[in-house]
Amino acid sequence: MACELPKELGLPFSRFSCADIAGQAVQRGIVASISGATVWRWLTADAIRPWSHRTWIFPRDAQFRIKAERVLDLYHGVWAGQALHPDDYVLCADEKTSIQARKRCHATQAPAPGRPQRVEFEYERQGALAYMAAWDVHRARVFGQCEKTTGTDAYHRLVDYVMFQEPYRSAHRVFWVTDNGSSHRGEPSITRLAQWYPNAIQVHTPVHASWLNQVEIYFSIVQRKLLTPPDFPDLQTLERQLLEFQSLYERRAKPFEWKFSRDDLNRLLRDLTEQQVQQQKAAA
C-alpha cells in the first residue's frame, strides 16, 4: 500500500505520510489500530519513503543510447572501439548561468552554540554572471572564467583559454563533452570547434542527459560549498571567490570515480522500456 500512488486510490494527496498510511491500514481493516511511528519504523527497515520525491526526465532522444555510449566510453578511455592515445584528453564543459550577487541587508551572523548561521532574508540584487568551466576528466584539472552572459562567443573564449595551454595545444586529440545548450548545440557547434582547433572534437551528451557530463558534479560542489547561501556584496566579489574556489579545489582534486558503464546504461534503458510498456498497457 505504501508503494501505491494516492491518486490511484482515489485520494486527494500527492504523497503519503506515515499518518496517512496508518489511517488507510485501519480503514481497510488490515489492522485494528496502528501508529504512524510504527509505520515509519517498518518502512525505514525496508528503505521505503513514500513522503519523499525526486523529479526526473524520461529519455526522449532518439539516439540516446548511441550518444550516451560514446560519452561513457570516453570516461573509460575508449573512442570508436579503440583505447585512447596517451596524448588524448577528455574535457567536460558547460556553463552555470545567472549566478546572482545578493547583498544582504544585514551582515551574516556566524553560528554559535545552539544556533545555526543566520543569513538575512532580504537582499539587494547586485547583478548576475555566468560561470563557464571545463573539467579534465582524467587529470582532475579545472578551467573556468566568468562572463556577463553565455553564448557561442563565451564558449569560444573558454575553449581558447584551455587550448592555448599545454598539453592541449599540441595534443593528439582533445574531446570536448558538452550538453545541447545554445552555446554549443548540434552539428554547427561540432563544425565550429573543428575549425577553431583541428585537434578538438565536440561530443554531445543526449538531450536532457546533463547527468552524463562530469562538470555538473563540479558545479554541484561549487553550489554547495560556495553559493549556498548566496551572500556577495557585488559582482567583483562573486567573481573573485568563484575563481579562488576553483584554484583551491583543483589543488585537492582527484578524478571523479565514475562507475556508470555501458552495462549500467543497458540495464537502465531496459527498465525504462519495461516501465513504458506497463504504462501503455495500463492506459489501454
Rounded to an integer, the average pLDDT of 193-221 is: 96
What CATH number corresponds to the domain at position 184? 3.30.420.10
Predicted TM-score (pTM) of the model is: 0.87
The predicted-structure confidence for 50-72, as pLDDT tens digits, reads as follows: 999 988 888 888 899 999 999 99
| CA 120 – CA 106 distance, rounded (Å) | 6
| CA 91 – CA 68 distance, rounded (Å) | 15
10/89 same-domain check = no
246/202 same-domain check = yes
Residue in the block written with cell 524520461: 58
102/183 same-domain check = yes
The enclosing H or E element of 281 equals: helix 262-283
21/152 same-domain check = no
- Is 260 contained in some domain? no
11/93 same-domain check = no
Of 212, 145, 207, 204, which is closest to residue 178 (Cα–Cα)?
204
25/71 same-domain check = no
147/79 same-domain check = yes
Count the domains in the chain: 2
180/220 same-domain check = yes
- Is 151 contained in some domain? yes
pLDDT tier at 153, thresholds 50, 70, 90: very high
The predicted-structure confidence for 1-56, as pLDDT tens digits, reads as follows: 899 999 988 889 899 999 999 999 999 999 999 999 999 999 999 999 999 998 88
- The per-residue pLDDT of the chain, averaged, comes to 94
Find out whether 51 and 152 touch, Cβ atoms under 8 Å.
no
The predicted-structure confidence for 96-106, as pLDDT tens digits, reads as follows: 999 999 999 99
Give the structural domain span for 23: 6-45
The predicted-structure confidence for 178-191, as pLDDT tens digits, reads as follows: 999 999 999 999 99
| CA 227 – CA 242 distance, rounded (Å) | 9
pLDDT tier at 171, thresholds 50, 70, 90: very high
16/82 same-domain check = no
